[in-house]
Structure 1
Amino acid sequence: MLDPYYVAYTENLSKKTNTVIQPRVNQEIMDEVIQTYDIRNKVPVLKEIPTMILQGTKDMISPDDIRRTILKEIVRAQFIEFHESGHWMFMEEADKFNHVVNNFFEKIIRS
């Protein structure tokens, strides 16, 4: 099971709702990800819109070099790091996640 790779602390998995695993669906999703994951050629479009990048410090799925590459291309992007999270910062640090996302959109609405 991949779940422990998504969280910084395995006890946080207790917050996750159990779901039914559909191997065929998972395979189709992974096949598409493999074919379309490299979106570097689309990053310049993001230079023109408000962009926020969120990353858990302990994220094993989205390595730090991906973050650095994106931030180099989208220089106006706001970067927020979640120091107590893996890939699922929205679950592991839900209050912080909701706060920063809400603030990000409030600033856009006010501008």
Structure 2
Amino acid sequence: MSTAQYKRINGQKIFVQMIGEGEAIVFLHGGPGSEHRFFLPYILPLSKKFRLVLYDQRGCGRSERDPNNQYTMREEVETLEELRKELNLKKMNLFGESWGSILALLYATTYPEKVKKLFLTATIGINAAGLKSFERELLKKISIKDKVKLVHVERKMNKGTASVEDVLQILDPYYVFAKSSIENKAQTMMNQTVNHFIGEDISNNYDLTTELDKLKEIPILIAQGSHDILPPRKIKKLLTNFLSHAELHEVHNCGHWTFMEKPNEINRLVEDFFN
């Protein structure tokens, strides 16, 4: 069973798609600024046992844009809380990917009593140091040739003759272990404005260092690609060393987009964890 609908949350239309029946898992997409279709079709086998709740965050995908083009982490947390109420979920199972893992942790430290379990993948860390480390490591990976291409595309974007999709075409190969994985990547939209404002908010304000006690009763499983931009050894320093009860699973021969490169392994982990 699959349903797609708009829900009015905090005055804005949020697009929500639900697939399957059973206990709900709410998926938090990355970006910031991406959309729910990024998860599809990779996670669909899970719909045989769970109700998959996918939604486009504010200003993303098919959700309504903010009239003032202002986006913050706190607003995303409150959007997720209102969505929980709309769906009549007492507690949520959350699957957070990349920026979505930050959103999951932010929500869980704000409303710990509303979270059942957290599954995080392509994680970043517990504070802005993770994002800064991610940016440094990505820059190291990019070839000189592609750096030159990025400069040219940025100039074209400033003139309005190129888009963020042109940037992603250059960067996407650095997010995967096997470049052939990109051939199956769904065509998705990216809202650069959302990316900019939330990225800036993370850099300036993201810090859960003093909030981690609120997570100690919540089971947490982290699945990190062996060749992620932030591989497991770095995630230990940026995240799991601060969360002693969190389990870290290394996904071998895999980059940042774990569910895209290793869907069977991720789906098995998700099924076992949320069961």
TM over 0.5: yes
1:54 — aligned with what?
223
| Matched AA of 2:172 | D
The structure whose Rg is larger is 2
CA contact (8 A) 1:51 1:77 kept: yes
Asked if 2 retains the 8 angstrom alpha-carbon contact of 1:44 and 1:73, the reply is: no
Count of paired positions = 106
Calculate the TM-score normalised by the size of structure 2: 0.35
For CA contacts below 8 A with separation 6 or more, give which structure has more relative contact order: 1
SS in 2 for 1:55: strand
Letter in 1 for 2:253: E
Quote the residue 1:80 is aligned against: 249
Q: Which runs of 5+ in 1 are unaligned?
A: 107-111
Change (3 A) 1:62 1:102: same
Higher strand share: 2
Kindly indicate whether the alpha-carbon contact (under 8 Å) linking 1:5 and 1:61 is maintained by their aligned counterparts in 2: no
Partner Cα separation in structure 1 for residue 239 and residue 196 of structure 2: 27
> Is 1:6 matched with 2:175?
yes
- TM-score with structure 1 setting the length: 0.78
Q: Does 1:39 align with 2:247?
A: no
1:89 to 242, 249, 258: 258
Q: Quick one: distance in 2 between partners of 1:23 and 1:30?
A: 10
Question: Match for 2:271 among 86, 102, 106?
Answer: 102
CA distance in 1 between partners of 2:229 and 2:216 (Å)? 26
Q: CA deviation at 1:90?
A: 1.0
Matches of 1:17 and 1:10 in 2, distance apart?
14
Rounded to whole Å, the distance in 1 between the matches of 2:241 and 2:198 is: 29
Look up the match of 1:16.
185
CA distance in 2, matches of 1:54, 1:41: 24
Judge conservation of contact 2:224–2:249 (CA < 8 Å) in 1.
Answer: yes
Structure 1 pair 25–91 and aligned structure 2 pair: CA distance change class (3 A): same
Q: d(CA) in 2 for partners of 1:42 and 1:18?
A: 37
More helix per residue: 1
Shift of 1:31: 1.7
* Percentage identity across paired residues of the two chains: 35
Task: Give the Å deviation of 1:32.
Answer: 2.4
